[in-house]
Structures are given as C-alpha cells and as structure tokens.
Amino acid sequence: MRTQVGIVGGGPAGLLLSHLLHLRGIESVVLERRSREELESEIRAGVLEQGTMDLLNEIGVGERMMREGAFHRGVNLQFGGRRHRIDFEDLVGRGIMLYGQHEVVKDLIAARLASGGKIVFEAQVLAVEGADTDSPSVRYAGPDGREEALSCDFVAGCDGFHGACRPSIPEGARREYERRYPFGWFGILVRAPRSSEELIYCLHERGFALISTRSPEIQRMYLQCDPDDDVANWPDERVWEELHARLAMEDGWRLKEGPILQKGIVAMRSFVCEPMRYGRLFLAGDAAHIVPPTGAKGMNLAVADVRVLCEALAEFYASGRAELLDAYSERCLRRVWKAQRFSWWMTSMLHRFHGEDEFRYRLQVAELDYVTGSRAASTSLAENYTGLPLE
C-alpha cells in the first residue's frame, strides 16, 4: 500500500490523528495489531480535559460523549477524615468529562469508517524502515500472516510503550528518562450506585484510595498496593475492608458496595523519550511518554501530541514548509514535562511511601491542607487538572 501518512496504532492517538488529517484532506492508513472487537472492548479509564472534550465536539465525534459521559465541575481531596472540594468551574471556568477511553475509540472508529478511512486490524507491525529518508515504510504482518509493507511520506508512531516504533529509532538517537514508583493501584470495577457525584482522591495512613465512576450503575475504585502483589491475595472482603478503612469520614459517610466485576493491579511509572522525532518518524502518546494515572494526563497528552502533529503535517502539505515539523518534538515535550511534573506532584502528595518516617506523611497532610485552604494553590491544581492551554 501507499499513503501520505502511515499511522501505527489504532488507539485514541492514532485514530484521532487519522481523523484530523482526513478533515485537512490528507490521506492516512492506520495499522492496529488488535481486532476491532478487542480494541473496542478493552475497558480503560477516561478523564478528558476540557480541551480534549472541546476538540471531540469540534470534529463531530462528541455526540455520544455529551449524552453518556459525566461532566464534573470539581474534584474532592480527602485526608484526616474530612473531604474538601476543589471547584474547577469557579477557579478556572473549566471542567472535566468522565468518558471511557474505549468509548472514545468506538466513536473514532465509527467516524473513520463512515468517511472511508482505512484501518487494517490484526496487523502486527515489525519495524519502521527508512525513517531517516524521504520515503519511509512500515513492515508488518497482515491478518493472514503475510508480510507486507506500507510506503508513506511520514510515519506516526502511536503504538504505545511496547510498540515497534520507538525501538526503530537507533539507541544513539534517543534518550530515555524513567522513574518507577514503589507502589501500584489495585483497581476494581463494581456494579453499584454512585458513592459520590465527583472523584474522590484520598490520602490515609494505610495508603491512597480513589473513587471514580463509569456510569450511574458501574463504579471504578482504586487503592494503593504493592505493585508485585497478586490479585488472588485480595478477596472481596479484604478489598471492601480496606476501602472502608481508608475512606472513613468523621460525619459517618459510607461507601456503597456491590458485586465486583473486575480486579487488576496497575504498576506506576513515569517515562519520557527525547526527542519525539527521528527523520520522518514521529512518536505520539504512550510511545513517547508514560505518566502515572494520578493526574489523569495519559490520553490527554496523546491528544495534544496529535493536534500539534496534524497542524505541522497540514502546513507541510499546503506549503512545503517544514518549520512546524522541525518544532514538533520541542513543542510537545514542553507540555509533556509539565504534565510529568503535575502527575509526579499528585502522586507524591497522595501516596504513602512505606519505609519512610512519619515526617513525610505529616508533610503530605500539610500540603493537602495548604492546597485545599489556599485559593491560589487550588487554582494551580484546577488549571493543571482541567488542562493547560495549547501553546
């Protein structure tokens, strides 16, 4: 096959880039290793910044999000048995939308196929070749196992942390920064009524806890755990006991229980690859950076990346000018590192670092007390959580 932009990865980043390019009259082909059914059924969390939500509406794929998603005007921070609300709308005039990443994927797939977009499912990408030339190609095994090649002008690597695009960049041409955290999240999906209309982030002596929602009937809850723990060590009774202990309130508020539908452990790490470009190969989303989920920045960073990349490609095809392509990595990385800072700050403020003395825990409580008691500090949190403006 031959196209203008070869896109590796059919997650939110790759599909959104393909649709944005389509709206600019630029052809693309998306190669995705999973089947459509697998892609659409992989349940993933989704906290959308105001800018992400606005973009999906602008390009015509936000109708179901607006109908089924949950718009939140604030968030709750809990510590010492008391809960404090950060009012996003009052502080910065913005909010967030809770709408699963897999639901965004469904909407984007439908939009791409309806407009004649080319998505090759079950395509196992093997390597990107000739990235440092004017005619790169993507070598992949198709659904039938036959090896094929996609020739293109540019390659967008949107294939995640474990994909083939980043390793296609020579080691001497990239620098990688990584931090692994000594804890993970034990997550459950629960069939139960909402315990809170808005997210609850909780610091407790026993560790972190988070209450989120997927729908009026399905809730998502997390608690801090050992990243090497086994799900089998967490029977339902232990999960509820730990959540109730960490989320106990002075006023007697109580978490609503229900059947647990899913359990899993999420490791926590921060990762950045610099630069995000090698020749005509551009990395976007998790292929270039990973953030801990505490700051809800993962998918939003991917959206910001492809917005910048689409703008640069559109300028190139319209005028032949490559200044925006040359600036792509620098522009994206400024936002990436700010998101890394915010995610690290939220993670450090809300998780127990076991093995350290009580001094650190007291500092965390003092930090939360300051953030919830200072309008300036609350505004900083609200500004970052709802999304910094695109530069």
- Say whether both 260 and 289 belong to one domain: no
Please choose, from the candidates 64, 57, 52, 26, the residue with its C-alpha nearest in 3D space to the C-alpha of residue 299: 52
124 in any annotated domain: yes
Domain span at residue 210?
181-267+352-386
Cα distance between the two ends of the chain? 35
- Say whether both 108 and 194 belong to one domain: no
Each residue's pLDDT tens digit, 273-325? 999 999 999 999 999 999 999 999 999 999 999 999 999 999 999 999 999 99
Predicted local confidence at residue 388, as pLDDT: 94
Task: List the catalytic residue out of 201, 222, 278, 317.
Answer: 201
Please identify which residue in the block is written with the tokens 């630069």.
Answer: 275
Task: List the catalytic residue out of 99, 278, 328, 385.
Answer: 385
As a whole number of angstroms, the distance between CA 332 and CA 17 comes to 15
Predicted local confidence at residue 252, as pLDDT: 86
Active site residue 72: yes
81 in any annotated domain: no
Active site residue 140: no
Predicted local confidence at residue 353, as pLDDT: 87
- Say whether both 252 and 283 belong to one domain: no
Task: List the catalytic residue out of 204, 289, 297, 351.
Answer: 297
Predicted local confidence at residue 329, as pLDDT: 98
Active site residue 263: no
Please identify which residue in the block is written with the tokens 């998918």.
Answer: 299
The sign of the dihedral angle between the CA atoms of 27, 31, 37, 40 is negative
Main-chain dihedrals φ then ψ at residue 42, nearest 5 degrees: -80, 100
Task: List the catalytic residue out of 12, 292, 293, 328.
Answer: 293
- Say whether both 263 and 275 belong to one domain: no
Q: What is the CATH number of the domain that holds 33?
A: 3.50.50.60
- Say whether both 10 and 68 belong to one domain: yes
Predicted local confidence at residue 181, as pLDDT: 95
Predicted local confidence at residue 389, as pLDDT: 87
Mean pLDDT, the chain cut into blocks of 10 residues (391 residues total): 96 97 98 94 85 96 95 97 97 95 95 95 96 96 93 97 96 96 95 95 96 89 96 97 95 93 94 98 98 95 98 98 98 97 97 85 96 98 94 71
Contact in structure between 270 and 290 (CB atoms under 8 Å): yes
Q: How many domains does the chain have?
A: 2
Predicted local confidence at residue 256, as pLDDT: 95
- Say whether both 362 and 245 belong to one domain: yes
- Say whether both 164 and 24 belong to one domain: yes
- Say whether both 169 and 190 belong to one domain: no
Active site residue 338: no
90 in any annotated domain: no
As a whole number of angstroms, the distance between CA 203 and CA 142 comes to 48
Transcribe 328-365 into DSSP letters. HHHHHHHHHHHHHHHHHHHHHHHS--TTS-HHHHHHHH
85 in any annotated domain: no
Q: Using the CB atoms, write b or e for 204-228: b if 16+ within 10 Å.
A: beebbbbbbbbeeebbbbbbbbebe
84 in any annotated domain: no
Active site residue 256: no
Each residue's pLDDT tens digit, 225-273? 999 999 999 999 999 999 999 999 988 899 999 999 999 999 999 999 9
Main-chain dihedrals φ then ψ at residue 270, nearest 5 degrees: -120, 140
Task: List the catalytic residue out of 19, 22, 72, 289.
Answer: 72
Q: What is the CATH number of the domain that holds 206?
A: 3.30.9.10
